[in-house]
Homo-oligomer: A and B are copies of this chain.
């Protein structure tokens, strides 16, 4: 079955859910263009999810995807948190930030029964997960209205695990991809490989459709991914400059700058490895650091630094998520970009 038939879409282009740089507007534009728009819910409250889903339902009759993290919430560890804040303290001082004003707590929430209840009100056609899958009971709830389930694999082993656990399609996330790596079985980053190596190996290992992600920036990239056996593609970075994205000014400037060629995996912003454009924080503390608290706890202590730096026009403390190929980023409406990308899939049904 083609990915179009499986998901009920016209063209095999999935807009990657990108928490923090988009809301429903981008998803609506892509779905209305015939692709699959995605709403990242990992940083939204249940109320915000409801509001965004209502907005999507009001503006498109097409299928769309809602995306969730499904990590296990870590126990807050006051020692780790103190070490993290101590590491950041020279920056607090530099920016005149009062440590006592910093809120604790997680900025990213895993999929929950409450979220599943909200979804049930809207019955989205597709639900995708990052970091494996939620517990079976929650998955069953999502299955009730016939939603198709996608999840991300960063290794052949993860792909086999996801297939065995009943997903409908697998997103093969090559090392080029921006944002959080979906790695969930092994911590060893040496397992993380490029799209050219990962995609065909996953295609060969499983019997369900595989969606390619990582480094795909234009129609030729779409075509190449299909040559390697992908049933469709998931594209994030290329959409970051679209007017429908909520990408911040410092983030947009970084993407358009020469420094966008220097990306790295960093755990500093959340506690888990994610690819972003190298900035001051990454250069001075990492990009990977054992001091960063467990996902998603690292972000809280950075929030005031990020806010103050951005207020002054600096992305020194912001996650400047981007993949290794920003060459497809265009300041054009997301629908136009989607149709340009779709040219690489002509004849692929």
Q: Which A residues contact B (CB, under 8 angstroms)? A: 155-156, 174-176, 188, 190-191, 193-198, 200-201, 204, 214-218, 220-221, 223-225, 227-229, 261-264, 278, 287, 323-325, 327, 344
Contact B223 A194 (CB under 8 A): no
CB distance from A181 to the nearest CB of B (A): 13
A190 contacts which chain B residues (CB < 8 A)?
262-264, 278, 287
Residue of B at shortest CB range from A215?
Answer: B196
B228 lies within 8 A of A193 (CB)? no
Q: Is the CB of B191 within 8 A of A214?
A: no
Chain copies in the assembled complex: 2
Task: Decide if B325 touches A201 in the complex (CB within 8 Å).
Answer: yes
A174 surroundings in chain B (CB, below 8 A)? 194, 196
B-side contacts of A227, CB under 8 Å: 220, 223-224, 227, 344
Q: Nearest-CB distance from A29 to chain B (Å)?
A: 24
> Of B155, B214, B287, B344, which one neighbours A194 at CB under 8 angstroms?
B214
B229 touches A215 (CB 8 A): no
Q: With contacts A223-B227, A229-B220 known, is A215 near B191, CB below 8 A?
A: no
- The residues of B that contact A156 with a CB separation of less than 8 Å are 261
The residue that A215 contacts in the complex, of B194, B262, B264, with Cβ under 8 A, is B194
- A-B contacts, 19 listed (Cβ < 8 Å): A155-B261, A174-B196, A175-B175, A176-B193, A176-B196, A190-B262, A190-B264, A190-B278, A193-B325, A194-B195, A194-B214, A196-B216, A196-B325, A197-B323, A197-B325, A200-B220, A220-B228, A224-B224, A227-B344
Shortest Cβ distance from A175 into B: residue: B194
Max count, chain B CB within 10 A of own CB: residue among A194, A215, A261, A287: A194
Chain B: CB-nearest residue to A228: B224
List 9 tightest A-B contacts by C-beta distance, closest first. A196-B215, A194-B194, A197-B325, A197-B324, A224-B227, A224-B224, A197-B215, A193-B324, A176-B194
Q: Which residues of chain B have C-beta atoms less than 8 A from A221's C-beta?
A: 196, 200, 228
- Complex Cα distance A216/B200, Å? 10
CA–CA, A214 to B217, complex, Å?
18
User: A327 near B263 (CB under 8 angstroms)?
Assistant: no
Write out the residue numbers on chain B whose beta carbons fall within 8 Å of the beta carbon of A198.
Answer: 324
Q: Closest residue to A155 on the B side, CB-wise?
A: B261
